[in-house]
A and B are shown apart, each in its own frame.
Chain A
Amino acid sequence: MKVALFATCLVDTMVPQVARATAALLERLGHEVVVPPGQSCCGQMHVNTGYRREAVPIVANHVRAFAGAEAIVAPSGSCVASIHHQQAAVARRAGEHGLADEAAALAGRTYELSQFLVDVLDVTDVGAYYPHRVTYHPTCHSLRLLRVGDRPLQLLRAVRGLDLVELPAADQCCGFGGTFAVKNAETSTAMLTDKMANVLSTHAEVCTAGDASCLMHIGGGLSRLRSGTRTVHLAEILASTEEAVSPDQSTRPAVSA
């Protein structure tokens, strides 16, 4: 299958290794990966901060960039959720019904990575090897908007060498919440503190998730604590194999401890 990779603005700019790992994984599974060069952002941050009008041209850019793509995959539950639940609505509110229809059609072909692997490609064992103790944080938008359920856990359980430990109070929000992390920094930090305590209680080396944004928040906190536990995106784990532990697609954390 020809898969168009939507890196998302955050991954593309700040943690490119996550997108690289996604591409490597999909290619390893025998699929052709294309990266439409016009891509930027899904518009979620604008919508969620109240700039829904300003989000419309961003949505239009996204639709232009991915026009004609057969399947679109992004390593982010929250961006995919925004594509599914917000893009068409903000366009429609702005009176751009043509754009809304196109966005809705594109959303129908857009998948979060774990859903794409399990539901579309029908694989749970992606042939990965990752000899570390790992705990999984189900990010809120993957959990409640996309309902990815236990798909990421199915994928992780099939990774050779990986010791999966359950995260206590896993379904509690980590406190990222986009601009919430800045507008309500104290409350966000209080939530993060509890999340980190739960992560650290597992004695995992690595905390993983399907959203680079939440991981940047959790990882940034863990790094500040010099805790030694690091955050690694699910795609990076699934891309790792015995042979291919390259510097780009590796067991290295997004934020090193």
Chain B
Amino acid sequence: MTGVFLGLPTAPRGVGHLRGDRSFPDAARDSLRDGQLRANLGHATATIRGKRAAVVGEVPDWAELREAGRAIKAATMARLDDHLVALEEQVTARGGTVHWARDANEANEIVTRLVQATGADEVVKVKSMATQEIGLNEALEAAGIAAHETDLAELIVQLGEDKPSHILVPAIHKNRAEIREIFLRTMPGVDPGLTDEPRKLAMAARAHLRERFLRARVAISGVNFAVAETGTLSVVESEGNGRMCLTLPQTLITVMGIEKVVPTFRDLEVFLQLLPRSSTGERMNPYTSLWTGVTPGDGPQEFHLVLVDNGRTAVLADDAGRSALHCIRCSACLNVCPVYERAGGHAYGSVYPGPIGAVLSPQLTGVEDNASLPYASSLCGACYDVCPVAIDIPSILVHLRGEHVEAQSRTTPEAVAFRALSTAMSNPRLWRLAQRAAGLGRFLARGRPTLPAVLPPPASKWTRTRDLPTPPKETFTQAWAREHGS
């Protein structure tokens, strides 16, 4: 059963960042030519792969944790409505206000209204995939509210007027020299002697943001896990920018995709082990903040939680793809993906790049709005192996390819070919004829072991960079039958 048939709405067009303006192969072509980009990505992903493997390898019960993580997420999805209602009840009971948004537009309206009600014309933001997905910064800007990103990588992207290319390290495509250049160009009052030493760059960001944190009246965050049973929300981070945002302003607005809920506080003991080791390759990230509603005398005294659907219920309706909602955004699948490593995050055209993006983006928008993404994978399976909640991404990719093919109302040349091939392959007599026809290709080779490099499309897509062997005179099964007389 799929969401489309149930009529559940996908994420609306014209808002947010889930759709690219080019197909994956077209966009990838550009990044593949960018040698600097490939070198930066290759270096960064190799570093993080090694760190992850080391800290995961030292956990003797990783497989048990992974299975528990998977099961908790599956159990949550099976009763998502109940858990959200419980979460709402707990947050409200502890002094927070819960808002519901059907989609990106509605979520943006709610947040804008809440900020306006405080009278503030600027907000500080903790890195959040949900707010990027819905295009919140643009919506705030349209309302005259400046949104300051405070995560270092987000800051680099924002100052460089760039787009994020990784879910954990949005500026992964930039190296230290490029980051230095952006800081020198865009940070008011930055030391002109700034070097490209990472520590110095981090210090420059600290100085740049310090005063903003101290004057901020409103902060906007996402959430990693929201506990239904207690109303506890959590943000997992490294730099302390999250703590600044979650602690200092008077008002905190947290935007959360509805799939981020977990049933019990105890469930955190699983995810807080799985997430840091999978994402930054650390035993534990420097800071995890957990808060429940409002605490008098400590932190924001006004707290709003915005629950966003934006296509998630359509994903939930597809039981072959539902597990994409289990994702805890660790980014391990990006870091091991050979396609991501070479094409880079921008090629995916969505805030969710890499293997999880290649499934989640088309699921949230409807496959036809991101039709090239399910094909942006060699199905090597490295993503499934590292995923801390065991999402079988290759199988979902294959499933979405099927959805795409079956959504076509017109017959494509590819469909004609595959149908003809199916007919042949399901009928031994026709299949032998087809094989014989393929064997005729050997005459193109004029006796050489490989076919000529110049072949018409679609074969040219292969032969531009790879030789094709000359087909043999006789297939194996023919020869065998001849020799063994059957």
Contact = CB atoms under 8 A, between A and B. Distances in A.
A/B touching: CB–CB < 8 A: yes
Given A220-B462, A220-B468, A16 B474 contact: yes
Contacts of B428: 37-40, 61, 65
B475 A51 contact: no
Given A51-B415, A183-B25, A185-B464, A35 B381 contact: no
A220 B314 CA distance: 43
A23 B480 contact: yes
Contact of A223 (B339, B385, B450, B479): B450
Question: B interface, by DSSP: helix, strand, loop or mixed?
Answer: helix
B382 A173 contact: yes
Interface string A166-190: 0000011101111111111111111
Interface of A: 7, 9, 11-16, 19-20, 23, 35, 37-41, 43, 46-55, 57-58, 60-61, 65, 85-86, 140-141, 143-145, 171-173, 175-192, 216-217, 219-221, 223-224, 254-256
Nearest to B458: A182
B469 A145 contact: no
Question: A interface, by DSSP: helix, strand, loop or mixed?
Answer: helix
A12 B476 contact: yes
Contacts of A51: 402, 405, 415, 418-419, 422
A184 B380 contact: no
Given A14-B438, A50-B404, 6 more contacts: A41-B425, A46-B421, A173-B380, A180-B379, A187-B32, A255-B449
A48 B449 contact: no
A58 B381 contact: no
Contacts of A185: 25, 461-462, 464-465
A18 B439 CA distance: 17
Contact of B28 (A57, A86, A184): A184
Interface stretch (B95-103, B154-162, B370-378): B370-378
Contacts of A49: 401, 405, 414, 418
A144 B426 contact: no
A180 B375 contact: yes
B481 interface: yes
A184 B376 contact: yes
B466 A217 contact: yes
6 contacts: A39-B477, A50-B398, A51-B418, A61-B427, A184-B24, A185-B462
A255 B469 contact: yes
Contact of A184 (B339, B404, B479): B339
A145 B375 contact: no
B471 interface: yes
A40 B427 CA distance: 8
B343 interface: yes
A54 B25 contact: no
B422 A46 contact: yes
Interface of B: 24-25, 28-29, 32, 38, 338-339, 342-343, 374-382, 384-385, 395, 398, 401-406, 414-415, 418-419, 421-428, 431, 435, 438-439, 449-450, 453, 458, 461-462, 464-469, 471-472, 474-477, 479-481, 484, 486
A140 B469 contact: no
Contacts of A141: 381
Contact of B25 (A16, A171, A186, A223): A186
Given A48-B398, A180-B378, A7 B421 contact: no
B44 to A, nearest CB: 16
B424 to A, nearest CB: 8
Contacts of B404: 50
A220 B466 contact: yes
A140 B467 contact: no
Contacts of A14: 438, 469, 471-472
Nearest to A181: B462
A189 B12 CA distance: 35
A108 to B, nearest CB: 20
A177 B382 CA distance: 13
Q: Give the interface centre of A14, A58, A221 by most chain B CB atoms within 10 Å.
A: A14
Contacts of B479: 16, 20
Given A13-B438, A19-B476, A186-B25, A255 B379 contact: no
A177 B378 contact: yes
Given A13-B438, A182-B462, A50 B401 contact: yes
A96 to B, nearest CB: 13
A132 to B, nearest CB: 19
Contacts of A220: 450, 462, 466-469
Contacts of B475: 12-13, 16
Q: Give the interface centre of B379, B476, B479 by most chain A CB atoms within 10 Å.
A: B476
B477 A172 contact: no
Nearest to B435: A13
Given A19-B476, A224-B453, A256-B449, A55 B422 contact: yes
B398 A189 contact: no
Contacts of A181: 461-462, 466
A183 B339 CA distance: 13
Contacts of A140: 378-382
A19 B481 CA distance: 13
Contacts of A256: 449-450
B474 A177 contact: no
B52 to A, nearest CB: 14
Q: Give the interface centre of A46, A65, A184 by most chain B CB atoms within 10 Å.
A: A184
Given A35-B480, A185-B462, A187-B342, A223 B467 contact: yes
Contacts of B458: 182
Contacts of B449: 255-256
Contacts of B465: 185, 189, 192, 221, 224
B450 A7 contact: no
